[in-house]
Amino acid sequence: MSITQSIVDAVCERAAGRPVRTVSVRVGMLTAVVPDSMRFCFDLTTAGTVAEGAALEIEQPPGTAHCMACSEDFTLADLVLLCPCGSADVRITSGQELQIISMRVG
Amino acid sequence: MCGTCGCSGGSEGGGGTRIAVPHTHPHGGETITLEQRVLAKNEDLAAGNRAWLAEQGIVAVNLMSSPGAGKTTLLERTIRDFVGHRPVSVIEGDQETTLDADRIKRAGSTVVQVNTGAGCHLDAEMMRDALTTLTPPAGSLVLVENVGNLVCPALFDLGERSRVVIISVTEGTDKPLKYPYMFAAADLVIVNKIDLLPYVDFDVARCEEYARSVNPGLTVLALSATTGEGMRSWYDWVAERY
Ligand SMILES: [Zn+2]
C-alpha cells in the first residue's frame, strides 16, 4: 500500500494541479510487489486527487541473471539463485526494478 | 482505444483490445517522463540515517520476523545480557499497542515506540524521527524491532547497518522459500526456540539450505532466547559489527 501511495504522491506533485490520465510504472518480476494489489491500491489512493480515474500501466521486466561460473545469462522465475549449470554464484541483472516511468496529464 | 492514453485514436483489432499503434493525440495533453525510483525518497532518507549513525559510531540492527517468532523475548534477553557492557536502546515498531515497548523498558533499555497504525513496516522517515527522540549515545547499539511482517519491511531501507530475520522452529522449514524477498535482503537469519526442536517437525539444516538458495552469503544462527542456548553466537555476531 505505501509503495502505491509513494507513486501517487510523486505523480500528483509533478502534475501540479493538472488532471492525470495515465501513469506508467515498471515493476520487475523479482520484486515483492503484486500488480493486482497495486492496481487495487492505486484506485483507492488516487480517489479525491488529480489522478482520480487515471489508468495504471504496469510493465513487468522478467527476472534475469548472469552466472559468474559459466558466464551465461539466464531467466530467473523466482529469487532462487541457481544457474542451470548448478552454480549459485549468480548476479541478478533485471527484475528488481520499481520505477515510475512516465505519466500523461491534461 | 489507445492503450497509452485511452483516447479513441490508433485502434487495432477492435472489440476492446488495447493495442497502441503510433498516432497523434488530437485532444492534446502532455507526457511527462519521470524515470524515477519509487523508493527514491525513502532511500535518500535512509542514506542520511546511515551517515549520521556512522558518524556517531552507532550500530543499528533491524530485526524482522512474523508475529510470534520471539523477537521481543530475544530483545529482552539481549538487553539484560548487555547491561554493563554497551548501552542498548530500542526502536519498537508496532501497529497499535505499547505492550512490547513496556516489556523492553522493564528489561532495562531506553525505548521509543513508533506506532505505524495501518502501516505494515517501518520506513526511513520513521527511523529518523525515532532516532531524534531516542538520542542514542555515541558508540551504542540500537536494535530496531520492525513490525511483525515478512513482506513489506524487506522493501524499506532504514539506514541500518544490518538486517536480521528471526524465524522460530514452530514455523515451517520452508519459510525462506515462502518469503524469499525478506531472506534475500537479510544479513543474518536467527532460528529461534531451538529448545522446542524435540517437539516439532523442523529441519534446521534444510531451512538453512533454503535460505542460502535465495541469499548465498547468509549467516544462520540457531538459538533459544528462552533458555539462552546459542545466545553467545548472536552476541559475537553483534560484536563483529563494531
Ligand atoms: Zn552457470
Range of the domain at B217: 33-240
Is residue B29's pLDDT more than 70? yes
Is residue B25's pLDDT more than 60? no
Please check whether residue B12 lies inside any domain of the structure: no
Please check whether residue B125 lies inside any domain of the structure: yes
Cell 493486482 locates to: A36
Q: Give the list of residues 6+ apart from residue B196 with CB closer than 8 angstroms, or none.
A: B168, B169, B170, B224
Tell me the pLDDT tens digit for each residue of B196-223. 999 999 999 999 999 999 998 899 999 9
Please give the residue of chain B at the shortest CA–CA distance from A24: B4
Predicted pLDDT at B27: 56
Please check whether residue B23 lies inside any domain of the structure: no
Buried b or exposed e, range B179-197, using 16+ CB within 10 angstroms: bbbbbbbbbbbbbbbbbee
Least confident of A94-103, B63-72, B86-95: B86-95
Is residue A41's pLDDT more than 90? yes
Is residue B190's pLDDT more than 60? yes
Is residue B2's pLDDT more than 50? no
Q: Contact B224/B233 with Cβ under 8 angstroms?
A: no
Is residue B109's pLDDT more than 60? yes
A31 touching chain B per CB within 8 A? yes
Quote the CA–CA distance of B93 and B147 in Å, as a whole number: 5
Please give the residue of chain B at the shortest CA–CA distance from A16: B32
DSSP-derived 3-state class of residue A102: strand
Please check whether residue B148 lies inside any domain of the structure: yes
Average pLDDT in chain A = 93
Please check whether residue B14 lies inside any domain of the structure: no
Quote the CA–CA distance of B154 and B163 in Å, as a whole number: 9
Give B83's pLDDT tier (boundaries 50, 70, 90).
confident
Least confident of B5-9, B41-45, B232-236: B5-9
Please check whether residue B65 lies inside any domain of the structure: yes
Quote the CA–CA distance of A11 and A34 in Å, as a whole number: 20
Q: What count of Cα atoms within 13 Å lies in the side-chain half-sphere of residue A25?
A: 29
Q: Give the list of residues 6+ apart from residue B1 with CB closer than 8 angstroms, or none.
A: B7, B8, B11, B16, B18
Is residue B60's pLDDT more than 70? yes
Is residue B97's pLDDT more than 80? no
Is residue B116's pLDDT more than 90? no
Quote the CA–CA distance of B138 and B223 in Å, as a whole number: 29
The residue-averaged pLDDT of B155-175 equals: 96
Please check whether residue B9 lies inside any domain of the structure: no
Tell me if A80 and B38 make a contact (CB, 8 A cut-off): no
**CA B8 to chain CA mean position, Å:** 45
Task: State the Cα torsion B127-B106-B167-B224 to the nearest 10°.
Answer: 140
Q: Contact A83/A70 with Cβ under 8 angstroms?
A: yes
Q: What count of Cα atoms within 13 Å lies in the side-chain half-sphere of residue B88?
A: 25
Is residue B17's pLDDT more than 50? no
Pairing relationship of beta strands A98-105 and B30-37 according to DSSP bridges? antiparallel
What is the count of structural domains for chain B? 1
> Which residues of B touch chain A, with CB atoms under 8 Å apart?
3-6, 28-39, 41-42, 118-121, 123, 151-152, 154-155, 177, 180-181, 184, 212-216
Predicted pLDDT at B32: 92
**The model's pTM:** 0.84
Q: Contact B197/B189 with Cβ under 8 angstroms?
A: no
From first CA to last CA, the distance across chain A in angstroms is 26
Least confident of A32-46, A53-67, B16-30, B53-67: B16-30
The type of residue at B88 is V
Predicted pLDDT at B28: 61
Is residue B8's pLDDT more than 50? no
Please check whether residue B118 lies inside any domain of the structure: yes
Average pLDDT in chain B = 87
Nearest CA among B170, B158, B168 for reference residue B123: B158
Is residue B171's pLDDT more than 50? yes
Quote the CA–CA distance of B79 and B83 in Å, as a whole number: 6
Task: Give the domain CATH number at B113.
Answer: 3.40.50.300
Residues of B in contact with A80 (CB under 8 A): 177, 180, 213-214
The residue-averaged pLDDT of B78-86 equals: 85
Least confident of B8-12, B49-53, B177-181: B8-12
Is residue A12's pLDDT more than 80? yes
Predicted pLDDT at A72: 94
From first CA to last CA, the distance across chain B in angstroms is 60
